[in-house]
Amino acid sequence: MKMLGAGRVTPLPVVFPLLLSFVAFILAMIALFAGTGSRQQELEEYHIIAINMSHFGKDLLPTETSEEAAPEPTRDGFLGFIDDVGDKADELADQVTDKVGDVLDSAADELADALGISQWYSFHIMSACEGDFAPNATEVGAWYNTTNCTAREPGVRFNLTEVINHEIDMGPLSFNTASIQLPDAVQQAVDLLNSALFAVFIFYALGSGFAGMAFLLSIATLALAYRQPENHRKTVLLNALNAFLGTLTLMIGSAITTAVARKGAAQINGMGDDVGISAVAGHKFITISWVAFGLMCAAFLFWTLMCCFPRKDQWDEGPAYGEKPARPSTSSDRGLLRGLFARNR
């Protein structure tokens, strides 16, 4: 059996990698261009990471701290009556304090708006966006209402601290930005993401390009199979090589974004909770990235099987591997016998 198959291609099976590569190309393009162009709002949920700032600034508001009172000895008579009156007054003061605390908590939920900053900031491969939650930040199932995005740029770098300070300075309230700076860990997580975005852009651009090329090569192979369903070994090898490169680049890009998004979100959540900052990794982005990788991997396996494992009916075509073809006899006996037969005549 030959190491490489005969490469015979029939039209119907080629539809399988054609559809796989087409869907992989669409998903890779969504991941690459989310947050840019005219569909910023529709594709906002396909971000790498989103930072929730709707509760930022809670530490600016006064909070009540309660301490457990030490037990006091009970008293009888007039002194006991005075103690009871004092206890009632303390309970009333606690109730008033609780009401004030509830009002302060409600104010903290709206503090981001009062500061003039956006309620969320998100990162995409080629842009960063900001906006507010709709209908509001506390509503279950609230969605991202995009208000602004940066210009499309490969490897965009976004300084969250700079943006926050600028928006607070331009906001309606007069706050000293030095007193409400972001924790260093939050900015470090943003810097980590910034440092990876250009590499992510390269891998997703290559991955989407190879996926698109796989779709076009599948169409060309399908046309060749209709015209001449015979040996197309070179075409099959080209399809397999292209699908392998697409699989490799999408795998690396997906692995980088998954690791960076989860590490950045964990770091922000660990250090930003005290100041009302949280983050979530872009689960939809991660999902479509790995699905695109899986589709290209399936297309690569298809072409590999077509290339290296021919059908059984192709194994019997031609001489077996290592078998020498029959050669015409060069023995001199043939001439002697021919002369003998001639004399006998």
Between strands 128-134 and 143-149, the pairing is: antiparallel
For residue 307, what are the contacts with CB-CB under 8 A and spacing of at least 6?
A: 4, 5, 7, 233, 236, 237, 240
Q: Give the pLDDT band of residue 4 (cuts 50, 70, 90).
A: very low
The mean per-residue pLDDT over the stretch 242-264 comes to 95
pLDDT of residue 215: 96
pLDDT of residue 336: 47
Highest mean pLDDT among 59-68, 93-102, 262-271, 282-291: 282-291
What's the CA gap between 286 and 33, in Å, rounded?
A: 14
What is the end-to-end Cα distance of the chain in Å, rounded? 50
Q: What is the pLDDT of residue 108?
A: 44
What is the enclosing helix (H) or strand (E) of 280?
strand 278-281
* Measured distance CA(311)–CA(122) in Å, rounded: 51
Predicted pLDDT at 200: 94
Peptide bond into 183 cis (omega under 30): no
Distance CA 345, CA 34 (A): 95
The residue with tokens 């199979």 is 225
In 3D space, the residue among 261, 235, 249 whose CA is nearest the CA of residue 5 turns out to be 235
Q: Is 144 helix (H, G, I), strand (E, B) or coil?
A: strand
Other C-beta atoms lying within 10 Å of the C-beta of residue 46: 23
pLDDT attached to residue 11: 76
User: What sign for the dihedral angle of Cα 244, 246, 249, 254?
Assistant: negative
Return the higher-pLDDT residue of 148 and 1. 148
What is the residue type of 117? I
Q: Which of 79-83, 278-282, 305-309 has the lowest mean pLDDT?
A: 79-83
User: Closest Cα to residue 44, out of 115, 116, 130, 114?
Assistant: 130
282 burial via Cβ count (<10 Å: 0-12, 13-18, 19+): buried
Q: Does the pLDDT value for residue 86 go beyond 80?
A: no
How does pLDDT run across 269-297, given as a tens digit for each residue? 888 777 788 899 999 999 999 999 999 99
Widest CA span in the chain:
160
DSSP 274-297: GGT-EEEE-HHHHHHHHHHHHHHH
Burial of 15 (0-12, 13-18, 19+ CB in 10 A): exposed
The domain locations on the chain are 11-56+117-312
- Report the topology of domain 11-56+117-312: Butyryl-CoA Dehydrogenase, subunit A; domain 3 (1.20.140)
Residue 72 has pLDDT above 60, yes or no: no
pLDDT in tens, 15-54: 999 999 999 999 999 999 998 888 888 899 999 999 988 8
Higher per-residue pLDDT: 227 or 235 = 235
Residue 223: which pLDDT band, with cuts at 50, 70 and 90? confident
Question: Considering the entire predicted model, what is its pTM?
Answer: 0.72
Q: Which residues partner with 130 through β-bridges?
A: 121, 148
- In the chain, % of residues over pLDDT 90: 32
Q: Is the Cα torsion angle 42, 48, 52, 57 positive or negative in sign?
A: negative
